Amino acid sequence: MEHLHQQFIDAGTLMLAGMVFVFAFLGLLVVFINTVLVRLAEKFPDVVPQARPQPVKKQTATSSDELSPSVVAAITSAVSRYRQQHNKLK
């Protein structure tokens, strides 16, 4: 029984040491990457694009933008039929 107890202590110690090592490594990696990025940002600054004025397009209503009366009638009849069928269920 004492042998099993010692194995659990060794396993916990090894797990804790591994977690501390990984945490320290990742922390150093984050610090290293941030320092490199700061130095690169000083050497190669981001280019700010110039805003070009967009030409104003006039909105003209054409016959292709409007719905034909037959399409409007079909949509209206479909909506009214849907409402009639679903109101009966309540």
Domain ranges across the chain: 1-45
The whole-angstrom separation of Cα 28 and Cα 21 is: 11
- Would you state the pLDDT for residue 49? 81
User: Residue 60 pLDDT more than 70?
Assistant: no
pTM (whole model) above 0.85 = no
- Would you state the pLDDT for residue 64? 59
Task: Show Cβ contacts of residue 43 under 8 Å, excluding neighbours closer than 6 positions.
Answer: none
Which long-range contacts link 72-75 to residues 24+ away (Cβ below 8 Å)?
none
- Would you state the pLDDT for residue 40? 93
User: Residue 68 pLDDT more than 80?
Assistant: yes
The rounded percent of the chain whose pLDDT value lies above 90 is: 58
